[in-house]
Amino acid sequence: MRSENIRGDETMPKQTRTSLTAAFLVTAAVMPTTAFAQEADAAVELPDGEPKAFIEGACVACHRLDYIPNARGYSEEDWRALISTMIALPGELGDSVVSYLAENFPKKPGTDPVIVPGPVDVTISEWIAPTLGSRPHDPAPSADGSIWWAGQFANRIGRVDPATGETQEFPLEIADSGPHGLIEDGEGNVWFTGNYQRYVGKLIPETGDVVDYPMPEGVSRPHTPIVDDEGTVWFTAMSGHVGRIDPATEEMKISAAPTDGAFPYGIKINSEGEPWYVDFWGNRLGSVDPQSGMITEYELPDADSRPRRIALTPDDAVWYTDFPRGYLARFDPETGETKEWLSPSGETSQPYGIATIGNIVWYVETYPRPNALVRFDTETETFQSWPIPSGGGVVRHMMATDDGKLVLACSAVNRVALVEIGN
Ligand code: HEC
């Protein structure tokens, strides 16, 4: 069983870090390799009913049982659609599981998104991953128009060609890698983070071979990778680090965040080649000096802010989703000022995946079912939003393509999505 909900993240054991001056040095060995919290299953007592024993046995293969009462609740039809993305339950067994779930866990009040109408048209297309319950965590666009995803629970990287709907999966050799984030480089290689097994991998799609780059001791749970214009691969690590791999020398260098208990999460490179990241364990952002590796941190005004994902507008302003507070926010690196806007579905909306296309910010509200895709015009400061057809099931990351589309990973509904934007 895995645990990467917020609680799981927060209960992760801390590691010792070096100080600011130790940028690009590797921290001392303090943690065993599988250094992430495995929470015990919360004591969940499901209501009596015919399929109860089956559910208690079969539904814990990939996650805890408390996912069921904690979910937003669904109609029979929506439970059927959701479960079919995780496990194939034929005939009567399927009917009995679905009607049991619908009866005992109906849709909870307050779980619909607030949809804001507006002038822009979008077309959202979705494709299901061949392996059920694979948890597409992050998506990445490919130069050839296809969409990559990291199937975290299935230990594979996937790809779909939106033109034909053809899918392909690349199983990873290292067992239980927990592939989390991924990015395609200029040569068509796909760099991914092996979140559970402390390595960054380079998948060569023509052969399916993977080159592994293990984390040095003291660095764990590599999170989100990104490639800069020089081809350098940068990545955040949940142990409080930002790393980089020079593809020419294959050398990996690590920078430690100055603050103890930091959790660098989403990362983007600005127009000066400087990586910026958000810190999900604090009200902090960070930037990395690409030459020295020195990390500078910036405190956000609200102590409860937990920025989860980041996007940059062409002026290098930093936009982030403040997940627990329900805000979209802009940090101005020039002035150090922050401005924020309450997301249309309110404080509990859990804004998460975010991307920019020019001066338009796009992000997803992940608490409501369905999740809502939100558009924010940074010039007029106005919102518009749309429900995601599959429900979205927590869109943890999204990216813009070079031709002005968006790719999304819809984790709990085992899909990836392409958003084409009209006028
Ligand atoms: C093959 C793996 C797998 C199996 C088996 C599985 N699930 Fe899931 N389930 C997932 C994944 C992946 C997610 C998304 C988890 C996440 O993002 O944290 C998920 C999420 C959920 C959610 C939350 C959905 C939401 O919209 O919030 C519920 C409820 C759920 N599963 C119920 C079940 C039930 C009931 C069964 C058994 C009939 C089951 N699962 C079996 C993989 C699986």
Residue to probe by mutation, ligand 1, list 9, 50, 67, most atoms within 8 Å of CB: 67
Residue 277: pLDDT band by 50, 70, 90 thresholds?
Answer: very high
Q: How many other CB atoms are found less than 10 A from the CB of residue 68?
A: 17
- Please tell me the predicted confidence (pLDDT) of residue 41: 53
**Segment 140-184, tens digit of pLDDT:** 999 999 999 999 999 999 999 999 999 999 999 999 999 999 999
- Please tell me the predicted confidence (pLDDT) of residue 42: 54
Distance 59 CA to ligand 1 centre (A): 7
What's the topology of domain 6-30+116-421? Methylamine Dehydrogenase; Chain H (2.130.10)
Answer whether residue 214 shows pLDDT above 70.
Answer: yes
Spatial neighbors of 252 by CB under 8 A, at least 6 apart, are 200, 213, 215, 216, 243, 244, 245
**Segment 321-363, tens digit of pLDDT:** 999 999 999 999 999 999 999 999 999 999 999 999 999 999 9
Distance 413 CA to ligand 1 centre (A): 8
What atom of ligand 1 comes closest to residue 391's alpha carbon? 26
Six-digit token string for 128:
């299901």
Q: How many other CB atoms are found less than 10 A from the CB of residue 374?
A: 26
Tell me the pLDDT of the chain averaged across its residues: 91
Residue to probe by mutation, ligand 1, list 63, 153, 350, 411, most atoms within 8 Å of CB: 63
Residue to probe by mutation, ligand 1, list 46, 59, 72, most atoms within 8 Å of CB: 59
> Between 91-104 and 76-83, two packed helices, what is the crossing angle to 10 degrees?
120
Residue 4: pLDDT band by 50, 70, 90 thresholds?
Answer: very low
Residues having CB within 6 Å of any atom of ligand 1: 55, 58-59, 61-63, 67-68, 71, 82-83, 86-87, 97, 132-133, 135, 153, 369, 393-394, 411-412
Residue to probe by mutation, ligand 1, list 5, 55, 62, most atoms within 8 Å of CB: 62
- Please tell me the predicted confidence (pLDDT) of residue 37: 31
Spatial neighbors of 417 by CB under 8 A, at least 6 apart, are 124, 125, 126, 127, 139, 388, 390, 392, 395, 406, 407, 408, 409, 410
Is the separation of the CB atoms in 418 and 406 below 8 Å?
A: yes
Phi and psi torsions of 10, nearest 5°: -70, -25
- Please tell me the predicted confidence (pLDDT) of residue 14: 28
Distance 248 CA to ligand 1 centre (A): 41
Residue 43: pLDDT band by 50, 70, 90 thresholds?
Answer: confident
- Please tell me the predicted confidence (pLDDT) of residue 90: 85
Residue nearest to atom 37 of ligand 1 (CA): 59
| Exposure class string for 23-42: b at 16+ Cβ within 10 A, else e | bbebbeeebeeebbeeeeee
Distance 129 CA to ligand 1 centre (A): 14
- Please tell me the predicted confidence (pLDDT) of residue 45: 92
Rounded to the nearest 10°, the torsion over CA 160, 165, 170, 171 is: 120
Answer whether residue 120 shows pLDDT above 50.
Answer: yes
The SS3 call for residue 308 is strand
Answer whether residue 18 shows pLDDT above 80.
Answer: no
- Please tell me the predicted confidence (pLDDT) of residue 130: 98
